[in-house]
Amino acid sequence: METLAHVPVSGIILDEIIEKHRGKPGMLLTTLEEVQEKNPLKYLPGETLAEISKKMKIPYTQVYSVATFYSYFNLKPQGEHTVVVCRGTACHTKGSKALLDDIAVILGFKRDEDDTESSYTTPDNLFTIKTVACFGQCAQSPVVEVDGVIHSNVNSQKLLNILDKLKRGKSRKKT
């Protein structure tokens, strides 16, 4: 049985997306973006990048370079919910590292002590944890973005409440 994490976007859908954007400026970017959106785990598997390369007649190295240059694109399966922790100076001094440690404990994964660049996805594909250099919200630090919503002045309890609501399927309201 094939797991969801390894199911690429179907060839029919891929063909439709490529045809829709063929000949337009920026067609590779828009194609990659739409293909990633269609993938249930919001990422671009290697076999999908190879198919895009073949069907668009663009060298694989170019497709891969674009997919890895832009931080928007994911090459690993992503969780249903995305949690992004700011690692800027203000957020760091006000506890963003401790928040990352708390997230690791709450969601049950091991985080490398000095690893501030990696993303982690929980085995159940419910959460992906990422970091960002700075959100530009320094006066409200520490800042955490959850599913596109910025949460400011986040402490461990506030973070626990946010994650708990998402685990229970509650709405994604700004707190």
Distance of CA 98 to the CA centre of its chain: 21
| pLDDT for residue 175 | 45
Query: Minimal CA–CA distance to 11: which of 50, 37, 42?
Result: 50
- 40: helix, coil or strand? coil
pLDDT tens readout for residues 118-144: 788 898 889 999 999 999 999 999 999
| pLDDT for residue 112 | 67
Residue 172, CA distances (Å) to 147, 160, 163 in order: 8, 14, 10
Query: Where does the chain show beta strands of DSSP type E?
Result: 81-86, 120-121, 127-132, 144-146, 149-151
- 165: helix, coil or strand? helix
| pLDDT for residue 52 | 95
User: Do 157 and 95 meet the contact criterion of CB atoms below 8 Å apart?
Assistant: no
| pLDDT for residue 120 | 87
| pLDDT for residue 174 | 46
Residue 55, CA distances (Å) to 19, 25, 85, 100 in order: 10, 17, 37, 41
Weakly modelled stretches of the chain, pLDDT under 50? 1-5, 171-175
| pLDDT for residue 138 | 94
| pLDDT for residue 59 | 96
**pTM for this one?**
0.75
| pLDDT for residue 3 | 44
Q: Which two tokens stand for residue 17?
A: 């997306």
